[in-house]
Structure 1
Amino acid sequence: TPFSNYIIRVEYRFTGEQCAGGPGWAFRNSGIMVHGQTPESMTKDQDFPVSIEVQLLGGKGEGERTTANLCTPGTHVVMDGKLVKRHCTNSTSKTYHGDQWVTVEVEVRGSKLIRHKVNGETVMEYTEPQLDDADADAKKLIKDGVVLLTGGSISLQSESHPVEFRKVELMRLED
């Protein structure tokens, strides 16, 4: 069943050391994938599901590194009235160093609105999530020319660094 209108809230933290050989970009990197393609529609060698990713990042001990960012494997969104085609966009969150628990909430209203919150504070909003017709994996999912995403699967991601989820809560919303 595709999910369309809901709030997903997770409490997460990064622990331990990144696994040997993990790429630098994957350090303290996890995510909540929403409006995702079905698992059975993925190919064996596909890097990521076509989805809207709420990227969860942990601090590196110094410097700034926002969390609840937006990454768009095979997708685009509209932000401030403009189509955003870059792969990742940083949120306005603060940096969370160490192994502290962080609460991230994502409000999803079909294609009308996706809102990211960190510890209760809104850090990003956008609309019109859509398939990227130039992406090989996304192109296979376009039916009758419709690219707008109104729903999909939900998944949690771990790149190569241990991440713990203490709570995962899902509340369906009325259409």
Structure 2
Amino acid sequence: MILSPCLALAGEPVALFNGNDLSGWTAVLADENAKAEDVWSVHDGVLHCKGQPVGYIKTEKEYSNYELSLQWRFPQGSQGGNSGVLVHTSEPGAIGIWPKSIEVQLHRGDAGDFWVIGTDLNVKNEEERKMGRRHLNLTDDSENPIGEWNTMVIVCQKDRITVTVNGDLVNEASDCSVTAGAISLQSEGAPIEFREIVLTPLDE
């Protein structure tokens, strides 16, 4: 059984995307004249993002200590591109349009990189894997071909984050400077699709 966010209990999955519309989500776009429906739409249980204008949708609720599972793909015939899942989203405009958060990268070929946006974290072997705001993932060969669905699981437990892609461990972070906030999905220049966005609360 998947519960609604207002009934969330530890261990009980919560559907953040209902498969029908953007209930529970708010859009923030760089073009103030644009509307959410100009970028985001829902068809046949799939959340479609055009990628332009850039911005993001965020959950109206905030979360901490959870497992987030979602599926994403770049449409068949596309070249892939950029997007990301932002966890622990808070103040808007930390860097350009992007809010204070920790980005789990969905850029084609780089899924699982961490990008810090007004935040900080540590990864192992930082001297090799930290490049400014970017913290390289552990593997770049875990993604499926364009047009096929991928599954990402992000576990946020206190000040730690673990990310798997299609069952492979792709990144781990510790000492995260933020541990709670909304969850956001980026519109970042390329068409991308999402489905089955489910959060499972964890014991603190």
Give unmatched runs, 5+ long, in structure 2: 1-60
SS of the aligned residue for 1:97 comes to coil
Alpha carbons 1:28, 1:161 under 8 Å: kept: yes
- Map 1:17-166; keep pairs closer than 5 Å: 17=78, 28-37=81-90, 41-43=91-93, 46-58=96-108, 65-80=109-124, 86-91=132-137, 92-94=139-141, 95-111=143-159, 113-130=160-177, 149-166=178-195
Q: CA deviation at 1:163?
A: 0.6
Higher RCO (C-alpha under 8 Å, 6+ residues apart) = 1
Residue 142 of structure 1 aligns with which residue?
none
SS of the aligned residue for 2:62 comes to coil
TM-score by length of 1: 0.70
Distance 1:121 1:52, change over 3 A: same
TM-score by length of 2: 0.61
Give the partner amino acid of 2:112. A
Distance 1:80 1:48, change over 3 A: same
Q: Percent identity?
A: 32
Give the partner amino acid of 1:9. S
> In 2, Cα distance between the equivalents of 1:117 and 1:43?
28
Alpha carbons 2:95, 2:118 under 8 Å: kept: no
> In 1, Cα distance between the equivalents of 2:64 and 2:184?
14
Alpha carbons 1:53, 1:71 under 8 Å: kept: yes
Give unmatched runs, 5+ long, in structure 1: 19-26, 59-64, 131-148
Give the partner amino acid of 1:47. I
- 1:16-67 superposed Cα distances (whole Å, 9 cap, x missing partner): 658xxxxxxxx61111100111xxx424993211100001022xxxxxx231
Kindly indicate whether residue 71 of structure 2 is the aligned counterpart of residue 11 of structure 1. yes
Distance 1:81 1:109, change over 3 A: farther
Divergent runs of 4+, >3 A: 43-46, 81-85
Q: CA RMSD in A?
A: 2.4
> In 2, Cα distance between the equivalents of 1:43 and 1:124?
26
SS of the aligned residue for 2:175 comes to strand
SS of the aligned residue for 1:129 comes to coil
Distance 1:174 1:45, change over 3 A: closer
Alpha carbons 1:67, 1:90 under 8 Å: kept: no
Name the count of aligned residue pairs.
139
> In 2, Cα distance between the equivalents of 1:120 and 1:35?
23
